[in-house]
């Protein structure tokens, strides 16, 4: 399936490339809230999230000429934002390499009473590595291969860390909900 470029989006990009400050502000205003949410979820710190967002938008405007329109502008910006947030936190990630052949990963069963508030609070309690992988795969929709490439880990490690993140969330949610 090919992405069909939105003409308004293309016009916005072209105006930004011409250094039209008003249009640059429009681009920023259009995406800042959603992108801040991503950085905050990943970094779990308001100041770091704001710094990551600022750094990411600097990269967006510097790299806008390389935007090819293969995906939506929002998806392209999101990739930059996620990578920027990861770079800020990457040094504190702790991953255990686990042999996939010896680990049986079974689906996690979530409680039917689960609400977004409970889940959001539980996600914040996860370690940086678990939280990042959970958010990248389960919330942002990245594949394990994409996640592994961005984090510099194996695909198996991404899968196992997601498994452990879900187990930790399940435990945390049982404590909070019951």
- CATH number of the domain residue 85 falls in: 1.10.1740.10
Q: Kindly give the residue spans of alpha helices, DSSP state H, lying in the chain.
A: 7-17, 21-43, 46-63, 73-89, 116-125, 128-134, 144-151, 155-177
* Report for 48-62, 64-78, 134-148: range of highest mean pLDDT: 48-62
135 and 173: one domain? yes
Give the C-alpha separation, 173 to 7, whole Å: 44
Of 91, 111, 130, the one marking the end of a domain is 91
110 and 154: one domain? yes
85 and 130: one domain? no
Give the C-alpha separation, 153 to 41, whole Å: 21
Position 32 pLDDT exceeds 70: yes
Position 11 pLDDT exceeds 70: yes
- Which structural domain, as residue segments, surrounds residue 109? 100-177
Mean pLDDT value across residues 80-90: 84
23 and 61: one domain? yes
Within 13 A of 149's CA, how many CA atoms are on the CB side?
6
1 lies in some domain: no
The predicted structure's pLDDT at residue 178: 54
Give the C-alpha separation, 67 to 69, whole Å: 6
* ∠ CA 127-137-105, rounded to 5°: 80
20 and 67: one domain? yes
**pTM greater than 0.85:** no
Our count of domains for the chain comes to 2
Of 47, 74, 91, the one marking the end of a domain is 91
Give the C-alpha separation, 156 to 167, whole Å: 17
């Amino acid at each position: 399936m090919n992405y069909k470029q939105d003409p308004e989006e293309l016009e916005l990009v072209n105006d930004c490339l011409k250094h039209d400050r008003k249009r640059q502000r429009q681009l920023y205003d259009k995406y800042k809230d959603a992108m801040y949410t991503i950085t905050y979820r990943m970094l779990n710190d308001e100041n770091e999230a704001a710094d990551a967002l600022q750094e990411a938008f600097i990269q967006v405007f510097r790299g806008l000429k390389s935007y090819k329109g293969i995906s939506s502008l929002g998806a392209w910006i999101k990739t930059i934002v996620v990578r920027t947030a990861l770079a800020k936190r990457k040094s504190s990630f702790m991953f255990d390499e686990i042999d996939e052949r010896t680990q049986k990963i079974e689906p996690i069963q979530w409680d039917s009473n689960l609400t977004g508030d409970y889940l959001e609070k539980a996600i914040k309690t996860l370690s940086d590595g678990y939280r990042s992988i959970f958010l990248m795969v389960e919330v942002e929709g990245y594949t394990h291969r994409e996640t592994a490439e961005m984090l510099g880990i194996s695909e198996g490690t991404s899968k196992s860390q997601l498994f452990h993140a879900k187990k930790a969330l399940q435990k945390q949610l049982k404590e909070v909900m019951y």
